[in-house]
């Protein structure tokens, strides 16, 4: 025998709250709530305080939009402008700013403590590519591993010698920003591009 579970339907009443409205940009044309506004013409001339209906009619006659620029001012400030063109120009400015903005990243290159000379040249070539792009480079030396390798590396000072070779190869193409503490298992240096 099958049973059916009757669930009680519930309805949720929602109310519109002006304070919680999403910010969709400035109010334009008929969406302006103030009765009187201070109007600025499309050329930037202050036309003074006037009723919103009169300012809206002026915008319609000029084949433009009435855009509320500062709603917090008393009376609010509105400008007569082509809102579509204004939005397009703002979007274009933001896009250009993003294009021109270069984010510098921290790139990391791992090196073994007993690296061969040719392998080191290849790693350093990659480091120079990152520095030429304007990025900082963290060169890390793998000191963890079997106890025998650590003992040999600690006695011979392999990581210290390796860092000295790396610094010598970099020369004036980069500046050392920081070094890791000698007691850490993974040792590293951070190199910034030369200015």
What domains are defined for the chain? 25-93 (3.10.20.80), 106-193 (3.30.110.10)
Nearest to 128 by CA among 179, 191, 195: 191
pLDDT in tens, 156-195: 567 777 888 888 888 888 888 777 766 666 778 888 887 7
Does residue 25 register a pLDDT over 80? no
Between 181 and 140, whose confidence is greater? Answer: 140
**Verdict on whether the full-model pTM lies above 0.75:** no
pLDDT in tens, 70-128: 888 888 888 888 888 888 888 998 888 887 776 677 888 888 877 888 888 898 899 88
Classify the phi-psi angles of 7: left when phi > 0, otherwise alpha if psi is within -120 to 50, otherwise beta: beta
Across the chain, mean pLDDT equals: 78
Look up residue 9 and give its DSSP letter: P
Backbone angles phi, psi at 173, to 5 degrees: -80, -10
Residue 6 confidence class, pLDDT cut points 50, 70, 90 = low
Does residue 12 register a pLDDT over 60? no
């Amino acid at each position: 025998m099958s049973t059916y579970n009757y669930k009680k339907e519930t309805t949720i009443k929602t109310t519109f709250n002006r304070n919680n409205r999403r910010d969709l940009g400035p109010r334009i044309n008929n969406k302006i709530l103030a009765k009187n506004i201070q109007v600025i013409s499309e050329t930037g001339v202050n036309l003074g305080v006037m009723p919103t209906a009169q300012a809206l009619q002026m915008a319609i006659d000029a084949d433009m939009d009435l855009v509320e620029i500062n709603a917090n001012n008393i009376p609010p400030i509105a400008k007569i402008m082509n809102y579509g063109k204004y939005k397009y120009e703002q979007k274009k400015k933001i896009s250009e700013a993003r294009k021109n903005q270069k984010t510098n990243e921290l790139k990391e290159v791992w090196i073994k403590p007993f690296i061969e000379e040719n392998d080191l040249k290849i790693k350093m070539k990659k480091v120079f590519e990152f520095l030429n792009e304007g990025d900082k480079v963290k060169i890390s030396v793998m000191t963890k591993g079997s106890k025998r390798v650590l003992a040999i590396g600690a006695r011979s000072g392999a990581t210290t010698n390796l860092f000295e070779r790396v610094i010598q190869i970099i020369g004036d193409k980069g500046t050392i920003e920081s070094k890791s503490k000698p007691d850490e298992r993974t040792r590293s240096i951070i190199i910034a591009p030369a200015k």
